[in-house]
Amino acid sequence: MNWSYIFLMVACFIVGLVLLRGLFNMMQGGSSNKSQQLMRLRVIAQAIAVAAMVLVVWLSRE
């Protein structure tokens, strides 16, 4: 496996983990501040994952 695919899998795993943590927090009736923080963290992690995907595709074309 190439290092780029491993990085992409880790990025997607982190996004999924943050998403599940946020869902679990909402199901348990946790604080809304914590839910908002997890939502922001998920969006940032998603942006990084998408940017990494674009970068990998761009670099693999050369």
Tell me how far apart the alpha carbons of residues 42 and 20 are, in angstroms, rounded to a whole number. 10
Task: Give the structural domain span for 52.
Answer: 1-6+14-22+31-62
Look at the chain and report how many structural domains it folds into. Answer: 1
Predicted confidence (pLDDT) per residue in 7-27, tens digit = 888 989 999 999 999 999 988
Distance, in Å, from the CA atom of 56 to the CA atom of 40, rounded to the nearest integer, reads 24
Total-model pTM? 0.77
- In contact, 59 and 4? CB cutoff 8 Å: yes
* Per-chain mean pLDDT for the chain: 88
Residue 3 has what pLDDT?
78
* Mean of pLDDT values over 23-44: 90
